[in-house]
Amino acid sequence: MTTTTPAANTALLPLPTTAARAATTTGAALALIGTFLAWTYTDTFPGDLTVTGYPGGLQVLTLISAALTLLFALSGYGIKGLRWLTPGGTNSPTRLLALGTLVTTAYTVIAVILTKDDNGNLLGAIELEPGAWISLVGALVAAVAALGLPSDLPQDDTTDSSAPKRFLASLRAPAPARAKALPSWAEILIIAGAFGVALYVFTYGIDTEYAELFIGYVLAVAFGFTALTRAGLIARITALTAKHRNVTLCAALVAAFCFPFTQQNEEYALIGANILIFATVALGLNVVVGLAGLLDLGYVAFLGVGAYAAALVSGSPLSPVGVQFPFWAAVLTGAAASLVFGVVIGAPTLRLRGDYLAIVTLGFGEIFRLTVNALNGVSGPDLTNGSQGIPSIPDLKLLGFDFGISHDIGGITLGRSANYYLLMLLFTAVVVLVFRRSGESRIGRAWVAIREDETAATAMGINAFRLKLLAFALGATLAGLAGTVQAHVSYTVTPEQYQFAGSVPPNSAFLLAAVILGGMGTLSGPLVGAALLYLIPAKLQFMQDYQLFLFGIALILLMRFRPEGLVADRRKQLEFHETGQLDVPPDTPLTDTAAGTTKAGA
């Protein structure tokens, strides 16, 4: 069997494919050029798109999308320096990027037209300058031309040319092509660069000052990430991170540490701190749901137990306890209280399975909220001030460092929110370490066995009840640990903060969704899911009335097209995308025992 190089394949492309690639390249170039021209006549639309030669606001998103489309379109010509961009194929990522450029540009144009001036009148199409039309036409040409490019199908899907099969195949990331092995230092630099880019993208999303820019950011990132996944770059970087796991964790920690130094707005730093709190609690729930397979619908109650315990002993003037523990003692108090509640609730209920366990845990979450609401001195003992909660919780002080005041570090001022962000980052690192060590231990493997088949695990000698109780207690402790910091960040704790479902996370429904969205049983999955589920509502506050509706639609689409989650392990990928054939390495010889010959494996 003969093979051809990418350059040779390009030379043999049929004329329609060559014309489609040329039109895609031309359209992407036009869309890119248009971003350097003025898009609006006045500065009524946010972002000031009236400047020529300096893209701003939503123009930047179109510029980046068009530049990526142009780069991937050029890689299809077999240019040697660009082959590394598309180890999984060139056409599908080019098509996705071209479509993303069109969607982002069209959204901007529509948003400008529907914007109202000071008199309440729509700006209309007359507000658009030639630059907007050039970028829109160029993006449209690129998207339409990209549809003429042939599909990049995985090898096992080439035998089925039906439209549904091709569509579903385009949503799955192919295995990355074999590449020349790089030295270790080069692989480490690639990992560091990847986390640097991720930090910049995340920071850009938090720094968006208005809703129109954030919506455009979400659209551009969604199409761009899908295209990079389809190209095989994400799979290749994932392979590198799996090879250098310690380096990856250090790079992630350094990138997260650098985040508050990029923020000048306390509001954005506070969003980052709350994301870490939400992500840490989601990672604790991942121990219960993702590893042990226990469906806990009242997990947010453990966060509340830790928060209330810390609030009672942290010196609040309205605390009935009237004591003030040092920081480390308050943290241990919150974690210990959650641990006790985890054992007390888990011991009599963990002999249940499935829906029955879910109903009991849901009841526990509601009992906790109603109980702290009743401990107001009227319906019950005066312990939690009822619906008023425990306000005026003082800021933490650790080794003479006051988290409530600003500090200058290296010429950069870190405010109160940034201080608590760094503290929460330390807690997150501890939770990540606990999750990783427990997941890789014998106990973690036993949890996975119980999750897959509890009956079979019990038959193999695993004490299922004891290990499930251990997972329940560990998850509760991690939630209580995060709750101690949450109480001080928000200054107050109230029963309404710990509901099963609500418009503001964290609550039990959003925590469970973060684990499922990110990827159950993975380390980074709940962190990604929690960041998305907290950041989007925080930035799109005008959509709060429709938030749960849109959230439900997003989950339905996710379960349909990527049920394993955004970050899935190999086991989940094989479970949800089973081909019915055994995976055979491409270089493995297959022996035909009947004929006594050896064939090359496919």
Q: Over the stretch 358-402, which tens digit does the pLDDT of each residue have?
A: 888 888 888 888 888 888 777 767 788 877 888 888 888 877 777
- How much is the mean pLDDT over the chain? 80
- CB-neighbour burial class of residue 461 (10 A; exposed 0-12, middle 13-18, buried 19+): exposed
Q: How far apart are CA 85 and CA 179, in angstroms?
A: 12
CATH number of 263-572: 1.10.3470
Cβ pair 525, 348 in contact under 8 A = no
Give me the amino acid identity at 395. Answer: D
For residue 248, give the nearest of 49, 436, 499, 458 by alpha carbon.
436
* Residue scoring higher pLDDT (14 or 278): 278
Averaged pLDDT, 322-344:
87
Q: How far apart are CA 420 and CA 289, in angstroms?
A: 28
The helix/strand/coil state of 209 is coil
| pLDDT higher than threshold 90 for residue 444 | no
Beta bridge partners of 598: 591
| pLDDT higher than threshold 60 for residue 230 | yes
For residue 41, give the nearest of 51, 32, 33, 31 by alpha carbon.
51
* Residue scoring higher pLDDT (71 or 181): 71
Give the pLDDT confidence score for residue 152 in this predicted structure: 63
| pLDDT higher than threshold 60 for residue 179 | no
The token duo for 290 is 């993702």
Give the pLDDT confidence score for residue 103 in this predicted structure: 94
Q: How far apart are CA 114 and CA 178, in angstroms?
A: 49
Beta bridge partners of 122: 116
Tell me which of 155-159, 240-244, 362-366, 401-405 is least confident. Answer: 155-159
Q: How far apart are CA 559 and CA 509, in angstroms?
A: 16
Give the pLDDT confidence score for residue 36 in this predicted structure: 93
Q: What are phi and psi of 324, to 5 degrees?
A: -135, 105
State CA 122 to chain mean position distance.
Answer: 36
**Which contacts qualify for 542-551: CB closer than 8 Å, 24 or more apart?**
542/211, 544/503, 547/503, 548/501, 548/503, 551/513
Give the pLDDT confidence score for residue 133 in this predicted structure: 93
The token duo for 599 is 């064939």
pLDDT over 90, % of the chain = 12
* Residue scoring higher pLDDT (505 or 537): 537
| pLDDT higher than threshold 60 for residue 218 | yes
Q: Supply the DSSP string of 510-575, one letter for each residue.
A: HHHHHHHHH-TT-SSHHHHHHHHHHHHHHH-GGGGGGHHHHHHHHHHHHHHH-TT-SS--HHHHHH
Q: How far apart are CA 533 and CA 515, in angstroms?
A: 10
The token duo for 477 is 């402790």
Q: How far apart are CA 360 and CA 83, in angstroms?
A: 55
Q: Which residue in this structure is represented by tokens 């710990």?
A: 498
The token duo for 567 is 């970050």
Tell me which of 97-111, 224-238, 370-384 is least confident. Answer: 370-384
Give the pLDDT confidence score for residue 12 in this predicted structure: 44
User: Half-sphere exposure (CA, 13 Å, Cβ side) for 262?
Assistant: 16
Beta bridge partners of 408: 413
**Which contacts qualify for 440-445: CB closer than 8 Å, 24 or more apart?**
443/467, 443/470, 444/291
For residue 20, give the nearest of 152, 169, 143 by alpha carbon.
143
Cβ pair 557, 566 in contact under 8 A = no
Q: How far apart are CA 520 and CA 290, in angstroms?
A: 4
- Total number of residues shown for the chain: 602
pLDDT-derived band at 143 (thresholds 50, 70, 90) equals: very high
Q: How far apart are CA 463 and CA 48, in angstroms?
A: 64
| pLDDT higher than threshold 50 for residue 7 | no
The helix/strand/coil state of 578 is coil
The helix/strand/coil state of 190 is helix
Q: Strand pairing of 412-414 and 589-592?
A: unpaired
420 Cβ neighbours under 8 A, 6+ residues apart: 273, 396, 403, 485, 488, 489
For residue 464, give the nearest of 448, 475, 476, 487 by alpha carbon.
448
Beta bridge partners of 590: 599
Give the pLDDT confidence score for residue 142 in this predicted structure: 93
Cβ pair 66, 140 in contact under 8 A = no
Give the pLDDT confidence score for residue 13 in this predicted structure: 47
| pLDDT higher than threshold 50 for residue 486 | yes
User: Half-sphere exposure (CA, 13 Å, Cβ side) for 2?
Assistant: 4
The token duo for 339 is 């641990």
Stated as kind and residue range, the H or E segment containing 600 is: strand 597-600
Cβ pair 58, 218 in contact under 8 A = no
For the stretch 405-436, pLDDT in tens is 877 777 777 888 888 888 889 888 888 888 88
Cβ pair 467, 446 in contact under 8 A = yes
**Within 10 Å of residue 358's Cβ, how many Cβ atoms?**
17
For the stretch 523-556, pLDDT in tens is 888 888 888 888 887 787 767 677 777 777 877 8
* Residue scoring higher pLDDT (215 or 175): 215
Q: How far apart are CA 223 and CA 99, in angstroms?
A: 8
* Residue scoring higher pLDDT (118 or 104): 104
The helix/strand/coil state of 133 is helix
Give me the amino acid identity at 192. Answer: A
Tell me which of 75-84, 103-112, 419-428, 579-588 is least confident. Answer: 579-588
For the stretch 554-577, pLDDT in tens is 778 877 877 777 777 666 666 666
Q: What are phi and psi of 401, to 5 degrees?
A: -95, 115
For the stretch 248-262, pLDDT in tens is 888 888 888 888 888
Give the global pTM: 0.77
299 Cβ neighbours under 8 A, 6+ residues apart: 281, 284, 285, 288, 361, 365, 475, 479, 508, 511, 512
List the domain boundaries for the chain. Answer: 12-152+172-242, 263-572
Cβ pair 296, 475 in contact under 8 A = yes
For the stretch 43-85, pLDDT in tens is 888 888 888 888 888 999 999 999 999 988 888 777 766 667 7
Q: How far apart are CA 2 and CA 9, in angstroms?
A: 12
The helix/strand/coil state of 489 is helix
Q: How far apart are CA 398 and CA 431, in angstroms?
A: 20
Cβ pair 273, 426 in contact under 8 A = no
